[in-house]
Amino acid sequence: MALRLVQLAGIVLLSLPAIAQQPEDIPIDTFAVLDGFTGAEISPGGTHLAYLYPLDDRYHLVVHEFESGENQVIPPIETLDFRWIEWANQNTIVFSMSLPASRWLETRLLSLNTDTSEVTALIKPAEMDKRLGSRTARSYFSEPQIQDDVIDWMPHDPDYILVSLDEDFDARYEVRQVNIHTGDYKIFRKSIDGVQNWVADQDGDVRLGFGVRAGDRRVVLRDASGEWITVEKTAWYDNGWSPAAFTEDPDVIYVMGYGIHGTREVRTLRLSTGEFVDTLYSDPVYDAEGLTFRPRTQQPIGVRSTRDLPRIDYFDPEYARLQSTIDRALPGAANHIRSTTTDTRKIIIRSSSSRDPGLLLVWDREAKTMEPFGWYNQELDPDLMSEVTSVSYESSDGTRIPAYLTRPISDGPLPAIVLPHGGPESRDDASFWFLSQFLASRGYVVLQPNFRGSSGYGYAFQRAGREQWGGTMQIDVDAGARWLIDEGIADPERICILGWSYGGYSSAMGLIRSPELYQCGVGINGVYNLPAMIAYDNDYVGGTIWTRHIGLDGERSRSVSPHHMADQVEAPFLILHAEDDTRIDIDQAKGFHKQLRKSGIESELVIVKHGGHSMLSSAARRQILEATERFLSEHL
């Protein structure tokens, strides 16, 4: 185990090599640790590094001065938690915070003057005569729900930013130009019906808007001549291409869509002709996930994607050279440029692997040094973690399903956990994840299937999961359990299905659809009542676009709702749910637990006090790991 050097609050901590221990001896607290140095951002001039660090089980904002080694620590504000941080100029950090609320997600935008330590709220209420929304709505929600959508950092006028928000609760977002020191503002771009998102070009001009109107998507764009066009009426949009960002040429934009391989590509397109100019990303297997930008600008420099691990393919020559140099210096790891100074003299790097959540490094190109700043989990020894390998198996109709296998060192058929991901339109990869590594440390082999409906593998693969809750998606998950048995990896008498969010739904449905496969099930912040979930999501702008994909094609939602099928469950089920989960109400967990008990099924409900949907506290993670370890030891 390598020596680890961490600097926090002026204290240098040096960890010595650990005494060799068996994986099963690793304490739960090791896995429950929250990532340190999250969201690290270097100041434009390179004098300070800002990051989020867990202290007293909540993230604090830490501003480290390189020259003195001193740290300024900003605690969370009352019930608000930090979400992200960004340097607006050399001495001002703009940061987002979220708060527990009845609304799905509610955010606030603030700034920190690092010279004076003054914190300022940046979104001021509008004058009452400008508030055109419903008086009834304002009586319940006195402030806009989402306040942290910064669409331009205005590098040429660093005392201001552009922020998009729905200030009058009419589902139409305007753009404010906000003073980052006072919160004073002026309206920069008036709202347009059906637009909830705005995008600025590289000159800071707001030229693209998109969103939902009357249940349908809407996209408007101002072309090089200054005319606003309805993009839905263009041939290229009708063929599945959507605008993503602007080039330096006002007549050429970046677009994303499904190309020749059926996977999402990134191209440039000339607005005046509707013709493609160049292809910047195209892969026969993996989708482009989005563009990445030069710090504090709207200039795209690369394309984000995920193979086995997340990566960025830079089309900007300077950043491509920087990435190549980093990869040569740190071979065998996934290396990401987290942040750079304006002149790229100093670069912040996160280097990680499937066995290590990673470390943060500072590359000083002028001094020709690349030194560790700190580890994301100081307590964890990567040498004791399990390898994560990419595998695939056939579903019942012969479709190949990609998956990731985390396997303990032990030989022979092992007790196994099938671990479907949330979303469901997301995907798993080989990145370090505390839950799968914890399970492997306890001797369980873990399979994470990217069933049909998962994102990242092309349109046809993702589309095949829509309206297939309890159908194709579940068939693919259960096929993974059968593959583990057929390959001699899993003991057929000791398999449990465990999932988070949508994965919790899949866990319950696995026990219903394939009772012969699983000896138990576990759901973490799971969906169990589909009619209730659909009704909840329909209350949000754009919700009907999503909820039309929930359920099973041709069937009523109740027919694939675990809450309404509880009498078909035969195996014990553990329900873990955060009391403050605003994405999936805890009533789903309580109701399903009650239905299982009513049907005579062994069910246990564990309520987690503070963790939210992602269980973002070490106490919450400790609680779910302890309960899961005990439950699995009893039933496997």
Q: Does 574 map to a domain?
A: yes
Amino acid found at 147: Q
| One domain for residues 475 and 436 | yes
| One domain for residues 320 and 464 | no
| One domain for residues 362 and 410 | no
Q: Does 111 map to a domain?
A: no
| One domain for residues 466 and 555 | yes
| One domain for residues 370 and 507 | no
Amino acid found at 136: T
Tens digits of residue pLDDT in 539-557: 666 666 667 778 788 788 8
Quote the pLDDT of residue 338. Answer: 95
Q: Distance between CA 86 and CA 295 in Å, rounded?
A: 9
- Of 362, 384, 406, which residue sits at a domain end? 384
- CA–CA–CA angle 258, 264, 265 (5° rounding): 95
* Full residue range of the structural domain in which residue 56 is found: 1-76+316-384
Which residues 6+ apart lie within 8 Å of 161 measured at CB? 88, 94, 150, 152, 153, 154, 177, 178, 180
Contact between residue 431 and residue 310 where contact means Cβ atoms under 8 Å apart:
yes
Q: Does 190 map to a domain?
A: no
Residue with tokens 């099963």: 24
Could you write out the three-class secondary structure of 562-590? HHHHHHHCCCCEEEEEECCCCCCCHHHHH
Quote the pLDDT of residue 410. Answer: 80
- Of 332, 363, 384, which residue sits at a domain end? 384
Q: Does 308 map to a domain?
A: no
Q: Mean pLDDT per 10-residue run, the chain (636 residues)?
A: 34 32 74 94 97 94 96 92 95 92 80 95 71 38 82 93 88 93 94 89 91 81 89 89 93 95 97 95 97 92 96 97 96 95 96 95 96 94 95 97 93 93 94 96 97 96 93 97 97 97 96 97 95 77 70 83 94 95 91 96 94 89 97 95
| One domain for residues 545 and 606 | yes
Q: Distance between CA 435 and CA 66 in Å, rounded?
A: 35
DSSP helix/strand/coil, 62: strand
Per DSSP, the residues of 346-373 read: EEEEEEEETTEEEEEEEEETTTTEEEEE
| One domain for residues 473 and 607 | yes
Contact between residue 164 and residue 152 where contact means Cβ atoms under 8 Å apart:
no
Q: Does 97 map to a domain?
A: no
Contact between residue 255 and residue 269 where contact means Cβ atoms under 8 Å apart:
yes
Continuous H helices in 26-113: 28-32
Tell me the C-alpha to C-alpha distance, in Å, between residue 389 and each of 337, 430, 461.
Answer: 25, 7, 21
Q: Distance between CA 572 and CA 589 in Å, rounded?
A: 15
| One domain for residues 629 and 536 | yes
Domain holding 604: CATH number? 3.40.50.1820
Quick one: residue 412, left, alpha or beta (phi over 0 = left, psi -120 to 50 = alpha)? Answer: left
| One domain for residues 449 and 541 | yes
Quote the pLDDT of residue 629. Answer: 97
| One domain for residues 6 and 20 | yes
Which residues 6+ apart lie within 8 Å of 376 measured at CB? 35, 36, 37, 38, 350, 352, 357, 358, 359, 360
| One domain for residues 375 and 433 | no
Quote the pLDDT of residue 144. Answer: 85
Residue with tokens 């990566």: 311
Contact between residue 229 and residue 257 where contact means Cβ atoms under 8 Å apart:
no
Query: What is the token pair recorded at 208?
Result: 């693209």
Q: Does 420 map to a domain?
A: yes
Q: Distance between CA 506 and CA 476 in Å, rounded?
A: 11
Q: Distance between CA 316 and CA 301 in Å, rounded?
A: 5
Tens digits of residue pLDDT in 311-361: 999 999 999 999 999 999 999 999 999 999 999 999 999 999 999 999 999
Provide the 8-state DSSP code for 551.
Answer: S
Quote the pLDDT of residue 92. Answer: 97
Amino acid found at 536: Y
The count of domains in the chain is: 2
Contact between residue 498 and residue 417 where contact means Cβ atoms under 8 Å apart:
yes
Q: Does 28 map to a domain?
A: yes
Q: Distance between CA 339 and CA 126 in Å, rounded?
A: 34
| One domain for residues 396 and 376 | no
Q: Does 440 map to a domain?
A: yes
Q: Considering only CA atoms, which of 522, 524, 635 is closest in space to residue 584?
A: 524
- Of 353, 384, 415, which residue sits at a domain end? 384
What is the helix (H) or strand (E) element at residue 199, kind and residue range?
Answer: strand 197-200
Residue 623 C-alpha from the chain's centroid: 22
> Is-cis flag, bond preceding 424, omega within 30?
yes
